[in-house]
Structure 1
Amino acid sequence: MSGIEAVQFEPQLEVGQVVAERELRFTRDSLVRYAGASGDFNAIHYRDDVAAAVGLPGVLAHGMLTMGAAVQPVIDWAGPARILDYQVRFTRPVVVDQETGATLHVLAKVGQLGEGTARIDLTVSAGEQTVLGKAQVVVAIDR
Structure 2
Amino acid sequence: MAATVKYDEVEVGTEIPAQSYPVKRLNLVMYAGASGDFNTIHWDEKFAKAVGLPDVIAHGMFTMAQGGRFVTDWVGDPGAVLDYGVRFSGMVPVSYETGNVVEISGVVEQKLEDNKVVVGLTAREAGGQKVLSQAKAVVRLA
Q: TM-score, normalization: structure 2?
A: 0.91
2:4 aligns with one of 8, 13, 37: 8
Q: 1:105 maps to what in 2?
A: 103
> Is 1:60 equivalent to 2:57 in the alignment?
yes
Amino acid in structure 1 at the alignment position of 2:111: L
Q: 2:25 maps to what in 1?
A: 28
> Is 1:122 equivalent to 2:118 in the alignment?
no
- Rounded to whole Å, the distance in 1 between the matches of 2:51 and 2:37 is 17
Q: Which runs of 5+ in 1 are unaligned?
A: none
Q: TM-score, normalization: structure 1?
A: 0.91
- Rounded to whole Å, the distance in 2 between the matches of 1:59 and 1:84 is 32
| Equivalent pairs, count | 138
- Rounded to whole Å, the distance in 2 between the matches of 1:55 and 1:23 is 27
Percent of aligned pairs with the same amino acid: 42
- Rounded to whole Å, the distance in 2 between the matches of 1:128 and 1:6 is 27
Structure 1 runs of 4+ off > 6 angstroms?
none
Deviation track 1:57-78 (CA, whole Å, cap 9, x = no partner) reads 1100011110001221210122
Q: 1:38 maps to what in 2?
A: 35
Q: Which runs of 5+ in 2 are unaligned?
A: none
Question: How far 1:6 moved relative to its partner?
Answer: 3.3
Q: 1:86 maps to what in 2?
A: 84
Question: Does the 8 Å contact 1:20/1:74 carry over to 2?
Answer: no
